[in-house]
Amino acid sequence: MSTAMDAAATRPMATAKLAAALKDALGTALLTLGLAVPILALRTEQNISNELILQPRWGYVAIAVALAFSARFLYLVAPAAPARPRMLSLPRGFGRVLSAVLLMVLLLYPLIALALTGKAGAVKWIDNFGIQILIYIMLGWGLNIVVGLAGLLDLGYVAFYAVGAYAYALLATSDPVKSFMADWIGAGFWPLWAFWICLPVAGLMAAFWGILLGFPVLRLRGDYLAIVTLAFGEIIRLVLINWVPVTNGYAGVSGIPRPSFFGLPFNDSEGGFAAVFGLEFTPLYRTIFLFYLIVALALLTNWVTLRLRRLPIGRAWEALREDEIACRSLGINTTNTKLTAFAIGAGFGGFAGSFFAARQGFISPESFTFMESAVVLSIVVLGGMGSQLGVAIAAFVMIGGTEILRELDWLKRIFGPEFEPTQYRMLLFGLAMVLLMIWRPRGLIAFRAPSIFLRERRLVRAEMVKEGHG
């Protein structure tokens, strides 16, 4: 008898709920209309006489409103999602196994790409995807030391990336250095070995720059540190644009020597890599070499970070993030601790920068905007601060995701030939940033592994871990 009564009771409740959902969705639709009216509805265009006119696009507005209405309605009437488990209870060592598997895939990736897309396609897949993602992974791991481990909010990381790139580029293309090397060792030496010599130099310069920059600003707290680092990043970019005699301004630096295979150039000459190894020349070799090079650099960053975490300096970084005053009361010189985090993070950024310059052969200030800092920071936060694996996954998702958009030409068939997916790249990127933060504010890998344990390594939930106040 009670079930019949319940059934009778739930039916008006269900319709009431439906009615409420309809009203709410209608409200959302109206809201969307209000948002869309100025920007979406009327487009400012210049007609033939170069005057500004308005083009009505009410069709798009209708689509947007309809989408908002249905999305909201469905969201409200959908059955409640099951409660998310508080923490994924993964089997022990899962992270390790996963990392090992990913590493294997990474090392075999060029061969996989070759097999699947042939020589022509492989260059694009290895370069635009593989190398691009790996550069961001390395940048993410570098910034992870500063933001994730030490809790210093750095919004100007691109500055170190730029210093590394320009240091390498200017050093490698500088005439005095070239002629010095030619006189001292021999004419052919510098173009072949420039990369290997300049790479560490560029990294050290970036680290030095990090110390220089860090000194005055590291006593600032939280948001203020973030803004100052952002300002520095912008200052660097503006100086690069305007200091034309040195940096060539917008025109950038070109003719940057490419890396050689330890002395063997990647061209089709007699002494080139292909000829020496008895292979047919193809630009693929250099691409593959660059790929393994960035893999090596990234893995080096990773290894150093993991080692440092287990050393006093790394623990001091994390303790700094947790409570700076407590650190000082234990005799830790937090200024030096911050400086080392900043400098080491900057150094890795510089390495990534010089690799970038070598891979491109040409750099300009447009590659070093605030957007880059924002992207790298999002990768670190999204990954789950302090987690190496998380950062790698986040980089893969975000960079890979936006690069994939370039491949979606088939969408043109649906939306018409004027549809350019790349236009929407950054739009979706921004949207993804917001949505991912709402979904996982603590990042994908929401726990921290202790660097030392007595009996067993128990993971610390992300909510316990502080984010640092600079």
Partner 1 sequence: MEYFVQQMINGITLGSIYGLIAIGYTMVFGIIGMVNFAHGDVFMLSTFIALIFLMALTQVLGLGSLAVALFVVLILGMLLTSLWAWVIERLAYRPLRGSFRLAPLISAIGMSIFLSNLVQVTQGPRNKPVPSILGEVITLSGGDTYPVTLSYKQIMIVVVTALLLVAFWYVVQRTSLGRAQRACEQDRRMAALLGVDVDRTISLTFVMGAALAAVAGLLFMTYYGVVNFNDGFVPGVKAFTAAVLGGIGSLPGAVLGGLLIGLIETLWSAYFSIDYKDVATFSILAITLVFLPSGLLGKPDVEKV
Partner 2 sequence: MHASGPPLLTVEHLSMRFGGLIAVDDLSFSAGRGEITAIIGPNGAGKTTVFNCITGFYKPTSGRLLLSLGEAASAADIAALTATGRRSGATAAGAIFLLERMPDHEIAARARVARTFQNIRLFPGMTVLENLIVAQHNALMAASGWTVLGLFGARRYVEAEARAVERAKHWLDRVALTERADDPAGDLPYGAQRRLEIARAMCTEPALLCLDEPAAGLNPRESAELTDFLKSIQTEHGTSILLIEHDMSVVMGISDHVVVLEYGQKISDGPPDHVRNDPKVIAAYLGVEDEEVAEVEAEIAR
Interface residues toward partner 2, by CB under 8 A: 304, 307-308, 311-313, 315-316, 318-319, 321-323, 325-334, 448, 450-458, 460-461, 464-466
Which range touches partner 1 (CB under 8 A), out of 48-56, 135-143, 192-200, 347-355?
Answer: 48-56
Q: How far is the CB of 169 from partner 1 (least distance, A)?
A: 21
For residues 142-161, which are near partner 1 according to CB under 8 A? 147, 153
SS3 content of the chain, % helix, strand, coil (to 5): 70, 5, 25
Closest CB to partner 2 among 175 and 456? 456
Residue 366 in the binding site for partner 1 (CB under 8 A): no
Cα separation values, 464 from 52, 84, 248, 442, 446, Å: 56, 18, 49, 11, 10
Q: How far is the CB of 208 from partner 1 (least distance, A)?
A: 19
Judged by beta carbon distances under 5 to 8 A according to partner kind, the member of partner 1, partner 2, none in contact with residue 217 is partner 1
Judged by beta carbon distances under 5 to 8 A according to partner kind, the member of partner 2, partner 1, none in contact with residue 222 is partner 1
Residue 81 in the binding site for partner 1 (CB under 8 A): no
Q: How far is the CB of 460 from partner 2 (least distance, A)?
A: 4
Residue 397 in the binding site for partner 1 (CB under 8 A): no
Residue 30 in the binding site for partner 1 (CB under 8 A): no
Closest CB to partner 1 among 1 and 438? 438
> Exactly one of 59, 82, 186, 216 binds partner 1 (CB under 8 A); which one?
216
> Exactly one of 121, 312, 401, 441 binds partner 1 (CB under 8 A); which one?
441
Number of residues that bind partner 1 (CB under 8 A): 61
56 beta partners = 42
Q: Tell me if 260 sits within 8 A of 315, measured CB to CB.
A: no
Q: Tell me if 347 sits within 8 A of 146, measured CB to CB.
A: no
DSSP state of 368: S
> Exactly one of 224, 250, 262, 303 binds partner 1 (CB under 8 A); which one?
224
Q: Tell me if 87 sits within 8 A of 100, measured CB to CB.
A: no
DSSP strands (E only) in 279-426: 362-363
- How far apart are the C-alpha atoms of 239 and 244, rounded to whole Å? 9
Q: How far is the CB of 464 from partner 2 (least distance, A)?
A: 5
Q: Tell me if 249 sits within 8 A of 86, measured CB to CB.
A: no
Closest CB to partner 2 among 263 and 312? 312
Judged by beta carbon distances under 5 to 8 A according to partner kind, the member of partner 2, partner 1, none in contact with residue 171 is none
Judged by beta carbon distances under 5 to 8 A according to partner kind, the member of partner 1, partner 2, none in contact with residue 256 is none
Q: Which amino acid would we find at residue 183?
A: D
Which range touches partner 1 (CB under 8 A), out of 256-264, 309-317, 434-442, 452-460?
Answer: 434-442
Residues 6+ apart with CB under 8 A from 399: 132, 133, 136, 375, 379
For residues 317-356, which are near partner 1 according to CB under 8 A? 325
Residue 417 in the binding site for partner 1 (CB under 8 A): no
- How far apart are the C-alpha atoms of 50 and 60, rounded to whole Å? 25
- How far apart are the C-alpha atoms of 135 and 47, rounded to whole Å? 43
Residue 430 in the binding site for partner 1 (CB under 8 A): yes
Q: What is the DSSP string of 181-230?
A: HHHHT-TTHHHHHHHHHHHHHHHHHHHHHHHHHHHHHTTS-HHHHHHHHH
Instruction: Mark residue 313 as left, alpha or beta (left: phi above 0; alpha: psi -120 to 50; beta: remaining).
Output: alpha
Closest CB to partner 2 among 41 and 316? 316
Closest CB to partner 2 among 21 and 304? 304
Judged by beta carbon distances under 5 to 8 A according to partner kind, the member of partner 1, partner 2, none in contact with residue 227 is partner 1
Residue 1 in the binding site for partner 1 (CB under 8 A): no
- How far apart are the C-alpha atoms of 6 and 432, rounded to whole Å? 43
- How far apart are the C-alpha atoms of 253 and 362, rounded to whole Å? 6
Give the count of alpha carbons within 13 A of 67, CB side only: 8
Closest CB to partner 2 among 135 and 320? 320
Q: How far is the CB of 205 from partner 1 (least distance, A)?
A: 21
Closest CB to partner 2 among 133 and 445? 445
Residue 250 in the binding site for partner 1 (CB under 8 A): no
Sign of the four-CA dihedral 365, 369, 372, 377? positive
Q: Tell me if 222 sits within 8 A of 151, measured CB to CB.
A: no
Q: Which amino acid would we find at residue 470?
A: G
Q: How far is the CB of 196 from partner 1 (least distance, A)?
A: 34
DSSP state of 50: S
Which range touches partner 1 (CB under 8 A), out of 85-93, 121-129, 216-224, 254-262?
Answer: 216-224
- How far apart are the C-alpha atoms of 460 and 128, rounded to whole Å? 36
**List of residues contacting partner 1 (CB under 8 A):** 31, 34-35, 37-40, 42-46, 51-54, 147, 153, 216-217, 220-224, 226-228, 230-232, 234-235, 238-239, 241-242, 325, 370-371, 374, 377-378, 381-382, 385, 423-424, 426-427, 429-434, 437-438, 441-442, 467
